[in-house]
Amino acid sequence: MKLKILVVAGDGIGPEVTGESVAVLKEAAALGGHEFTFSERRIGGVAIVQDGTPLPAATVEAALAADAVLLGAVGGNEFNSLPPDKRPEAGLLGLRSALGGFANLRPAFAFKELAVNSPLRPEVIDGADILFVRELLGGLYFGQPREWNRAAGEAWNTMRYTKDEVARVARVAFQLAMKRRKKLTSVDKANVLEVSQLWRATVNEVAAEFPGVAVEHQYVDAMSMHLMNRPRDFDVVLTENLFGDILTDESAVITGSLGMLPSATLGGKVNLYEPVHGSAPDIAGKGLANPLGAILTGALILRHSAGLEAEAAAIETAVRKVLEQGFRTPDLARSNPQGYTVLSTREMGARVRETVKSQLLAASV
Ligand code: IPM
Ligand code: MG
């Protein structure tokens, strides 16, 4: 199988972690006799500095010509005073919108081996396995009008959804729920917001197409608490853009580190894959970053853009095995009571690669 992957590594730890993800993908491709080609383009702060814009036209063009786009992270403190449309983050939002993917899948799961990293008690998180489906192209992030009117001392954004925008992402979430535990929780603020009332009514309409899926609705404030109190009760969680942004960072607490979480954005012209974590400028370039979120993001490319389920599962199993063997990046070994072996970004990548290799070789005999 052939796959053209565009890598937009971006800022901070982006280049380090995507480098490890690419290396794992190359290993999996070589073992399976697949032909993956990788090219690179700039996005975010690095593009502001070198190209004068957070999203150069060449990046969009290459992304649209690829089969999948792997993004690292964007953002840096030196850009914090810029207006929203000039910041590194605008590059990412522009790329999301150019690619058109509206369903952002963000799994949040407990790793037995990482339970000690979570401030939640092991018996609360044990077995938790949630799949967030975050709407990615609407809501406050993209709604018009938006403005900071400095003269008037007033600013506004607009949370806006059309029925079609809600229905299409709801359908993706229901389809995923059918393949999982057949439970869907839709999160909104329908006790206050009209846009949430439309959201809820539309989700209920789509639910009629999926009688096998049990649906519940939660208000976002209550949901933020339920996720910490009883994360095991949730299967697929469907929500709008900003609520999804917030709840998915919160849910990293279940896993123990934001550095573990992958994401895939589906439904557009080209799928976009990015770890949930940010650019972490404070640790960039020091070999301290956790590449596992980026590596697990690579697994999602194999699953959703290449149909290589066995290879995707081999990467996921390899990550679990490496953790079982006691290997940790510094973020996963803040306290080190168990005598973990603390690895650098590259060492961790190499461990996973080796393990993927032995997994796939064992499977082929
Ligand atoms: C995320 C990030 C982005 C978002 C930022 C970097 C624009 O926080 O992917 O969750 O808000 O969507
Ligand atoms: Mg976020």
Residues lining ligand 1, CB < 6 A?
74-75, 89, 92-93, 245
- Please give the model's pTM, rounded to 2 decimal places: 0.94
**Average of pLDDT values for 93-111?**
96
Q: What's the pLDDT band for 79 if we cut at 50, 70, 90?
A: very high
Say how many Å lie between the CA of residue 45 and the centre of ligand 1: 14
Question: Of the ligands numbered here, which is closest to the C-alpha atom of 104?
Answer: 1
Backbone angles phi, psi at 264, to 5 degrees: -135, 135
Catalytic member of 11, 161, 188, 189: 189
Catalytic member of 245, 273, 331, 340: 245
**Average of pLDDT values for 221-239?**
98
> 141 catalytic, yes or no?
yes
The single-letter DSSP state of residue 146 is -
Which residues, listed in sequence order, are joined to residue 266 by a DSSP beta bridge? 103
Tokens coding 157: 């954004």
Which residues, listed in sequence order, are joined to residue 135 by a DSSP beta bridge? 103
pLDDT value of residue 365: 72
Separation of alpha carbons 4 and 363, rounded Å: 25
Q: What angle do CA 80, 22, 129 make, to 5 degrees?
A: 75
Whether the predicted pLDDT of 363 surpasses 90 = no
pLDDT value of residue 339: 81
Query: Do you know the residue count of the chain?
Result: 365
* Residue 11 · residue 46 · CB < 8 Å: yes
- 287 Rama sector, left if φ>0, alpha if ψ -120 to 50, beta otherwise: left
> 245 catalytic, yes or no?
yes
pLDDT value of residue 337: 66
**Average of pLDDT values for 181-198?**
98
Whether the predicted pLDDT of 116 surpasses 70 = yes
Tokens coding 34: 């697949």
Q: Which atom of ligand 1 is nearest to the CA of 96?
A: 12
Mean of all residue pLDDT scores within the chain:
96
Separation of alpha carbons 114 and 14, rounded Å: 23
Q: Which of 87, 93, 135, 261 to mutate to test the pocket of ligand 1 (most atoms within 8 A of CB)?
A: 93
Nearest residue (by CA) to ligand 1, atom 6, is 89
**Average of pLDDT values for 267-294?**
97
Catalytic member of 221, 233, 269, 286: 221
pLDDT tens figures, 297-341: 999 999 999 999 999 999 999 999 999 999 999 999 876 667 899
Name the burial class of residue 28, with classes exposed (0-12), middle (13-18) and buried (19+) by CB atoms within 10 angstroms of its CB. buried
Which residues, listed in sequence order, are joined to residue 216 by a DSSP beta bridge? 185
The single-letter DSSP state of residue 67 is S
| Spatial CB neighbours of 206, under 8 Å, sequence gap ≥ 6 | 167, 170, 171, 174
Catalytic member of 183, 249, 321, 357: 249
Say how many Å lie between the CA of residue 272 and the centre of ligand 1: 13
> 126 catalytic, yes or no?
no
pLDDT tens figures, 51-68: 999 999 999 999 999 999
Tokens coding 263: 């994401």
Separation of alpha carbons 187 and 217, rounded Å: 6
Say how many Å lie between the CA of residue 9 and the centre of ligand 1: 15
DSSP-assigned states of every residue in 323-336:
HHTTEE-GGG-SS-
* Residue 88 · residue 75 · CB < 8 Å: yes
**Average of pLDDT values for 147-173?**
98
Nearest residue (by CA) to ligand 1, atom 9, is 276
In this structure, the number of other CB atoms found within 10 A of the CB of residue 77 comes to 11
* Residue 291 · residue 313 · CB < 8 Å: no
